[in-house]
Structure formats: C-alpha cells, structure tokens
Structure 1
Amino acid sequence: MYPEYCVAQRQQPYPLHKITQSYNPVIQNEPRARQPNENPKDYMITAYTSINHVIDISPTTSIYRLDPFAKYLCCWTNTVGLEEVSAIQERTKWKHPNLVSFIFFEEQSDQFSQNRQLKIFYEYLPLDIKQLIDKRSRTQEYVPEEEIWKMISGLCEAFVFLQKRGITHSALTLESVYFDEEYLLYRIQDVSPFRARAPQLFENQYKSPESGGNLRVNRFKQDVFGLGIIILSLCLLKNSDYIFENGAISLIHLNDSFEQLKQLYPGRIDIILKKMLIIDFNLRPDWLELQLFLTNVKDMQIHNFDLGLTNKSSILNSSFQLYQQQQQQVQKTFDQLTLSQENREITNNNNNTKFTSSINNNNSTLNKTSNTDSVDQKLINLNKRIQETLSKSLNKNIR
C-alpha cells in the first residue's frame, strides 16, 4: 500500500489535542455515549478524546490513532489550491460504507495564501487487494462466491454514488481497492481532488481497449473495465498482468482466464465479470447500467449451481458416502450368501455320507445350487453397475 512504510518512527508519540479548525469534529474530554443504532465506525471518528501519532510512513504521510479507540487514520500533508480545499471539505461530509472517509483536515499555512498546506486525515486501511491475493494464494484459499458478490455489489454502489456526482475514479489499481477486515467491506477512496496537480499518478492499472485512442470515451466505462480485471485477479488469486501484452489485451489469455473463472465461480460471478469486461465499450455498461444489471441477476437461480470451492468437496464427500454405503450393502449380501453356501456345503457333505437319500432330494439340492449360482451372478452384475455408475459420477464431479 505504501512503498516507504516504516521509513521512520518517532520514539515519543505526540498528541494533537483540541484541534480547533472549523472543519474538524469537536474533541471531548471523555468519549460521549454511543447513540442507538449508531454505526460503530461513525461513533469512533466523532467521539475520540485525542489523536496520537503512531508512525511516519514517508516525509508527507503518517499514521495516527484515535484514542481511546483502536481506530487509525492516515495523515497526508500536501499543498493544494482553493478549489481542492473546497472539494476536500465537501468530501468530509460524505458517508458511504464502501468509500474511505475523509475525516477532517488541518491547515498549516496562512489562510490568505493562494496555495494552502493541509494535513488531510482519512481512514487508514492497511490491507489492499494485492496483499489479499498474496496472502490467500499461499494456501490457495479462494474467496467464497458470496463474498465476491458483496464486493461487486458494494463497490458498484460506491461508484454509482460518485457517478451521480459526475466523478470518475480513474486510478484503480490492486493497491487502491481495500478490504476492511474490521467491517468485512471492500472499499475505495475518491482521489479526484488531487488528480489535477499530479495526473501521472492517477491512472487505472488495467486499461480498457479504448484507452489512449482519439475517441471520446466514457471514463465511467473505463473504470468498470479496470475494476473488472481487479476482481478477476482476486477470483483467480493471481495478478492479471499476463492478460496484457505490450499494453494490448490478449483475447486468448482473457478467454483462458474466463475458463478458469467458470470452473471456480459458475453462475452469476462469471456472467457479471464478462459483462464488465466487454471489449466493445459501446456495449459495456457504466455504473448505473451495471447496478441495474446486478439487480436482475441478484436472485438468479442456476440449476446444479456449484460454487467450485466448498460445494465441490461436499459433492465428492456425498458421492464417497454413497459409495461406501452401497459397498457395505454389497458386502453384507455377499456375507449372507457365503454363510448360506457354507450351510449348503455342510448339508451336501452329510448327504454324501448318507447313501439312503432319495433321488428326489438330490434333484432338489441340485435345483437350489442352480438357483444360488443365478443369485451370485445377479449380485456380481449389480456390483459392476454400481461401480460403473459411481466412477462416472465421481469423474463428472471432479471435473
């Protein structure tokens, strides 16, 4: 997330008590009582008693903790213009569960200067998608289908929130989409106020096919494509750079990725990502159109729906249990047959020692033996059919 992490750390953390800027929340001497149904995060960022410095990440970036809570903020110090100040002030009022919140800012320069140096405080989220992929790929622990669905739907709502205000992200990377482990949410941060001063720092990691052309493109659709590749990377637990060759998309590699995706997430995830990654931008949805599409597929029922993660092992376990039950039944029948055969052999031996047995009794014994052979053959044939059926079933489920 931050390449210069742990560059320096102050030995004595210093508190910033009683910040009085008008854009900052009021700091109490002691935490206020939490209101009924108040979101825990909203409570912590408005009820703290002090802000304590924790560590410097770079010369312009630091981490702070809101005491007495275990809530961390990132502080970025930068020089911005008057329009940017107004934009940042507006964003401190936004509240969306899938947006990283700007909490407040503190001015460091003279209020009458044209450019102002601000210390901007926003929520600190240490785990990004790149780190999450690295973490899960070590054990091949794929993300559950329902969690991927929540990621898509939650982030789509955040982007719809921005699109309705005419704001594109245009800086989507594996390191700019975060997983909030505390609230189990995937979140993004609106960086548009800072784009004007450093446009080279704000571009999508995975560019759509129409990027860089002379066409008047829809940047919302470019963001849809960029996020689609990021989600695909998380689904497959690997970086998707291989899909791009010399900056151009390889349709062969993209289709190979879709094949892998279909094996892991058949159904709505597969359908949604293919929608987000349509090559023709005229057919690709923007966020508002994608939200409508998600509403239509939300309750979509897929016959024989297989998550490819836990369901597959459940199917295999069920098949093996069925196999064991049928094997036990065959063994039980075989044991009964063996016991019956042993009894018959004893009877035949007794009959052989008794020459006084009648021909009718001998014929009866021969008939019983013939019937028994017939029963044996039926059981053998039944067992073969069971084995063949189970073998086909297991092979199908394993694929």
Structure 2
Amino acid sequence: MIKVYISNSSEEFVKEVNHKIAEFIKFYIAFQEDHDDNRYEIAFPKFLLRNNKTRCEEVISELYEYSVDRYIHILSPLHEYALFKIIEYCEDNYEDYEKDKTEGETSLFGIVDKSLSDEEDNNSVENGGYSLSDFHTFDFYYDNIFEDFDFLDVDFFYNKFKLSPSLFYENVDVNLDDYIELMPLDIQKEYLTLKESNNKITNDVIGEEVEVNVQDFINELSNISPGKQEAKKYENLMARILSFLFSPHLIEPRTQVKTFDEREIIDMTFYNSATHGFWGDIKIKYRSNIIAVEFKNKEILGNEDYFQISSRLNDDIGRFGILVVRKANRLDMHRAYRRLHGGNVIITLSDTDIIAMLKTDATSFIANKYRKFIEKA
C-alpha cells in the first residue's frame, strides 16, 4: 500500500484509499492502450521517456503493485511525479468519461467498500476526520498521498543550487540526490560535477580553515619552479590558497570553467556572496557576481596574458578579474591600465602579494591594492 499522510488512519482506511489509487492507474492504462508509442508521455518528463522508456514502464507497474499489496511504500520523487500526473489525467478526463461511458461501465468514483459505510463518522478523530464521501474528490488524493510537491519544482531548486550550492544547502531543505531521476541527463552530469566540486572545496579547503598552516603554503609555493613544466602544480596550489584566503566572501570556487560557447576556459571562478564591504562594492560597481581568475606560472608577462583575462570579462560575468603570476613589474601595471579604459579592472597578484595576503587580512590587502590601482589610473 502507498503511504497515506493522514494521522490516526486505520489499515482498512488506507487500504480503501489505495484501492481507489489502483483504479486511477488502471483507468490511465486502459485509456492509453491505443497510444502505444506515447502511452507514458503524460506521466513522465519527455526526456526520461525518450532516454529510458523501460524505467517509465517499471514505475507504472510498481505504482500499481504498491497500491494492491500490504506493505507500506513511501514513494520516490519519480513515483510521486508519475502518480500525480496520473491523477491529474483522471481529473481532466473524468467528466467526459462519465458522460460517454456505456451502460454497465463502472463510475470512476463508484468503487467503495460498503463494509466501511457503517464506520463513517465525519466528526471522528480516526482517519483524520475523513469519511467515505471524501474519497470522491480529487483534492483528497492531492492533499493526502503526497508529502510535498517538490517533485514538480526540480528545475527551480536546481537553478538555485547552481547559483550557489553552499547557500542552497544552508537555506533549502531539499536533497537534490533524491530528484536526480527527474533531471535531464546533461543536468544530472552538471549537478554531480558541481556537487563533487563543492564537496571537495568543503572538505579540502573550508575544513582546513582552522588548521591550515600558512607556512606550508609558502613553502609549497617556493618549491614550484616558474614555467610550463610545473604550471599545473602551481594552478592547483593557487586554487587552494585563494579558496582559503577569500572565504567566506568569495565562495563556490570552480576550476577550468568553460565559457558559454565552450570555446574558452577560465582557470578559476568564485561566486561573490558579499553583501557589503569591499567585495560587496565590487559586485555593485562592476556587476561582479562572478570573480574570474587566471593563473600564469611565469615571471615575465606579455600583452597576450592581459588580453586573455580581459576577454573573459563582460557584463554577464562581471568586469573585475584577478591575474595571479610569479612576478609583476611596472610594465604589467600599464598593461592592466589599458584594459581599464575598456571597462575591465584586472588586479595582478605576484608571489610577494600572495605571501603578504597569507600573513595578513587578504580582503584588506586586495582592497588597498585596488585603491592604489584606481588612484593612479
């Protein structure tokens, strides 16, 4: 039997509710027999039916089996979605069916166990105060066989999660793992990637915030030689350091982020969660909900390095970027100023800057560096 969310419900009451649910499912199946290719289209998202028709068939069969056996089944979101759509289908077609049914055909609401009629008591606290007459309204089933309707809003919840996983976890009581079958395949992959990335940052960076040894970061940095050979090692280290330095204002660090056309890759991005202070001002002034970061494991830069990060900045991602390098000189400052005239602010951070930020307040340091940059422009 499918679980009914009514307090003090008797076994016979739950059994009768499930008997009606079974009739809904049979009604749906009977009226879809002539539409073999699309018989499950009403009850499932199109992407699921297209990619896994067998799973759709299984869910319909399982729903019927659940409604007629004696076990209490708590439905998964996918089962809830399908059952909701089946009941919705029955409601939409009920009046036409009642008008057109031939003599002898049973009314959709005509299946009532008469043995329960003597127990009917509208004022009884048993069965939540419901009586047999309540079985004849669709609202009864919408209200009492679904714990909630989150399964109808998976896209809404996922978009909130995508914007900021950590804020989603803090403020939304929904486990998206339970709803993964209701996501298109590309969204499933994206979700799992974002989740893994968030878990890695949580475990490897945020979890170290109390125990991190700043000197270990400095030693590790000094042991990496400039150049292409150790570029990946440098990028990985800087991703860890910046995630540590910029938390909690810049969150959701992601590496190797593809641009919307998937033709270019940004080394690292942060979500700017600040509502005030320096990062809050940057968000407002430069529309920087996202902070883009590029890493260059070299001591001598060229115009192309500044052009690259500048090309990543726009009104959608924001106009504030950070270029992390091994050494920077006066010429590099002029290269950054040229980008400023195009509306982009690029702050260059060298090894010396990174070490200083590890030894002091990182936000205050970069705010001071930004102020000097703007004042000399």
Q: Shorter-chain TM-score: what band?
A: under 0.3
- State TM-score, norm by structure 2: 0.25
- State TM-score, norm by structure 1: 0.24
Which is higher, the Rg of structure 1 or of structure 2? 1
Higher strand share: 1
